[in-house]
Amino acid sequence: MANEFFSDETVSEVRERANILEVVSDYVSIKKTGRNYKGLCPFHSEKTPSFMVNEEKQIFHCFGCGEGGDVFTFLMKVGQFSFPEAVEALAKRYGIRIVSREISPARKKEVAKKELLFQINQVASDYYHDRLLRHREGEAGRAYFAQRGMSKEFLEGYRLGYAPDRWDGLVQHLQDKKFSLEMAREVGLLFPKKREGWYDVFRARIIFPILDIHQRVVGFGGRVIKEGQPKYINSSESMIYHKGEVLYGLPVAKQFIAEKDCVIIAEGYFDLLTLHQYGFTNSVATLGTALTTQHIRTLKRYTRNVITLFDGDEAGIHATLRTLPLFLEEEVWPKTVALPKGEDPDGFLRKGNRDELERRVAEAEPLFDFFLESLRKKFDVKSVDGKVKMAEEALALIRGIPEGIRRNFYVKRLAERVDIQESMVYDMLQPSPKDRIKVREEGKKPAEKKTFPRSEEMVVRLMVQHPHLIPKISKEGITGDFESPFLKKMAEALVAFYQRKGELDLGEALEKVGEDLKEGVCSFVFQENGLEGGDLEKVVEDCFQKIREGRLKKEKQELLKRIREAEKRKGEKGLEALLLEWQELVKREGSLRKVNPQNGRGVK
């Protein structure tokens, strides 16, 4: 994944110069314990630290949730960076000049095209804005905003605009500036005429430009001024506009969200503008789409305190409830403000309810409580049947929450609201036997770890912690005798990596060993168990001995079984051959005991 943007050398240099301790310390407070550092995991909620960082190997691992990797992985997970973003951020921090971005011609073309689309949007936005503020044609737009009490400064701040009542206003403007009209069509500004030529999509509408976080215009919304349908039209999705990612108002709001450590989420252009106009500047809005996980992740960078503020009607309540599982999955615990029936934030504020809304925001209800309340309305909680149904529905949601204080808190809440004992809720929370099997199949198999043959685990641990032993281990071909397929795969991956590079850079190896092995390799870095200071070569040899003995024992058992079967069938020739094999095994066993295992021939 590294190599679409940077060469391996660039990535290696950044990895070498970056210090994982410093980077982690920006997000987690860590303390030194022995050779490692320990802290509370940023990826799951916990009371006692199980998040470890090893400075020497430049690796982190959480024994609670299994997350682990190098400094790039950490940044990607904690800051929602892409891999190239993580490389760039670290290069900047450690003063490494990234020489060339090796971009393919196809990618270059894509970048150039995106650039052009942004330009066209910018020119269109300037055009609409200019019509609104300075042209006779914009009179109707000015009157509309004036009636809403929005000042010129306000209109400028949000770059609001007006599309005149003409078919070719923007067409002409773009033509004068020599822009490709075909490209303007791609961002949804023009339609092609039936025969030839183009016409404006936005006519006689006030215009809301939609900006991304870098202040680039990605799309537009337009609202009719007089009567007419549709009331709102929006840019279609394009190479630069994805509804599920953009939050209206965020470029202005982000500073206030950070300051107040809280964000209000509304829906639609005017709800957002009016909220800002009335001082709720830490608000953002979704546009023409329900809230997505991507939205939540974007907001998490600024705050984890989220308040939803939707319309006070059935659709608004429905929209509110639909967000809850998304938030919980992202480990965000939202609150919600309910408006009187039939009100939306825009209308409510403009009727003089500023202080009232402020009070409601301050007293926002946890969305989970709001959800339970909605269930109480849906089911008859006086009947046993109703209680069970309500609990089931709530538990479907609670199961998605990682175990911990929060989850216990929600279980308690649920028990209170349904009026049943907490222990009963916990019983219901237990996965059904069917689910349990599924978990075992899909899950990360922590059980397997416990059943690893000790000596094999030790060998792999030594490979991870003391890579200079790898050539010795691979020379003896001991991994061929491993009983655990998982450890065998892990050991062979490490050997292959070491042979290719002549060393073991764990960060780089982790990137390449594959997801299934990654967690195991990571955790082995942190398991010391008194290996320090001992004669490691001796430890390795002891392990070899035990592994070979184990293998031989197994072979003997199998052979013995076959001999017994042959005896039962009597008179068959096979028995003699088996007995010869048996003698061979006994001999090998003897030599394994006598011979120094270092010189021992492989058992294979």
- 214, 262 Cβ separation under 8 angstroms: no
Of 64 and 550, CB closest to Zn ion:
64
Q: How far is the CB of 64 from Zn ion (least distance, A)?
A: 4
Of 38 and 203, CB closest to Zn ion:
38
Q: How far apart are CA 180 and CA 178, in angstroms?
A: 7
Of 44 and 488, CB closest to Zn ion:
44
DSSP, res 37 = E
Q: How far is the CB of 37 from Zn ion (least distance, A)?
A: 14
Of 386 and 402, CB closest to Zn ion:
402
Q: How far is the CB of 353 from Zn ion (least distance, A)?
A: 44
Q: How far is the CB of 511 from Zn ion (least distance, A)?
A: 20
Of 65 and 89, CB closest to Zn ion:
65
- 46, 64 Cβ separation under 8 angstroms: yes
Nearest 5 degrees, angle CA 44-CA 47-CA 52?
A: 65
How many H-runs (helices) and E-runs (strands) does the chain carry? 28, 16
Please report, as ranges, the residues that interact with Zn ion according to CB under 5 A: 41, 43-44, 62, 64-65
Of 44 and 166, CB closest to Zn ion:
44
The sheet carrying 232-234 orders its strands as: 161-163, 205-211, 217-224, 232-234
* Nearest of 498, 485, 427 to residue 456 by alpha carbon: 485
Of 61 and 387, CB closest to Zn ion:
61
Q: Decide the pairing of beta strands 205-211 and 198-200.
A: unpaired
Q: How far is the CB of 50 from Zn ion (least distance, A)?
A: 6
Q: How far apart are CA 559 and CA 563, in angstroms?
A: 6
* Nearest of 260, 153, 141, 265 to residue 208 by alpha carbon: 141
Token pair 């950490």: residue: 74
Q: How far is the CB of 118 from Zn ion (least distance, A)?
A: 39
Q: How far is the CB of 27 from Zn ion (least distance, A)?
A: 13
Q: How far apart are CA 215 and CA 507, in angstroms?
A: 36
3-class SS of residue 582: helix
Q: How far is the CB of 443 from Zn ion (least distance, A)?
A: 15
C-alpha distance from residue 474 to each of 466, 489, 596 (Å): 14, 13, 18
Q: How far apart are CA 54 and CA 526, in angstroms?
A: 7
Q: How far apart are CA 153 and CA 53, in angstroms?
A: 50
Of 65 and 116, CB closest to Zn ion:
65
